[in-house]
Amino acid sequence: MELNNKQLRRLNDGREYRAMTMRALGDSDAMIVEGYATTFNQPYLLYDGRDYRVMEQVAPTAFAQCDMTDVIMQYDHEGRVFARNRNNTLALSVDTTGLKVTADLGGTDIGRQVYQEIKGGYTDKMSFGFVVAEDHRTSTMDYNTGVETVLRTITKIKKLYDVSAVSIPANDMTSISARRYADGVIDGIKAERLERDNKRKKLILMLEV
């Protein structure tokens, strides 16, 4: 899917998107779906390449000061809103597992349609949009394989924007956002390696004089 100008602006403004799962609760007439936007201290893969691997995890402190005053639920992060926490059709709660999302989709025609798609398994991927306030990275090198693994830990999320059902998960903003972040990390590693190599070469030349 090709991103439109609005989606590109969101990514350029620092908004990130990650995958999540939701399921329909079928034990009542209410059209309720629920799932976890993220689970704490559970690393997940953002990028796996020949020389680099980028992982990410969310710390239990991440949502302590997060702005979740008006989070909405949409389709592909666009279009009509079919649930939001401001009118109590979207509930967000932090527990020991992670950030739990519960949505009542019975209030609009499109919401009821999305509920049936989730219940029937036609739509089984979700993602959420947010902005990171603080994070840190650690890096480890496997000298047997030559692969460097970077683990990003998100310690503080500034704002949570939306939760969305995703039509084409392989090519949506979630994948593009994750790859953008991973590319930035890899570019940084390459620059650091180049700087270290240049310093080492200069030191060798100085010692040879």
Examine the pLDDT at 155 and tell me if it is beyond 50.
Answer: yes
Per-residue pLDDT, 169: 52
CA 16 – CA 23 distance, rounded (Å)? 23
**What is the model's pLDDT at position 174?**
55
Has residue 170 got a pLDDT over 50? no
Per-residue pLDDT, 182: 67
Write out the two tokens for 4.
Answer: 């439109």
Average pLDDT over residues 27-31: 77
- Note the pLDDT tens digit of each residue in 173-191: 455 556 666 666 767 777 7
Looking at residue 195, what is its pLDDT?
75
Give the pLDDT mean for 46-68: 91
**129 close to 15: Cβ distance less than 8 angstroms:** yes
Q: Which residue has the tokens 């590109």?
A: 8
Mean pLDDT of the chain: 83
User: To which residue do tokens 């279009």 refer?
Assistant: 79
The distance of Cα 26 from the centroid of its chain, to the nearest Å, equals 27
pTM of the model: 0.78
122 CB neighbour count, 10 Å cutoff = 11
The C-alpha atoms of residue 110 and residue 144 are separated, in whole angstroms, by: 52
Per-residue pLDDT at 1 exceeds 60 = no
Kindly state the helix (H) or strand (E) to which residue 131 belongs, with its residue range.
strand 126-142
CA distance 115 to 137: 38
Instruction: List pLDDT tens digits, range 109-149.
Output: 989 999 998 898 888 788 888 999 999 999 898 999 988 89
- Quick one: average pLDDT of 92-109? 94
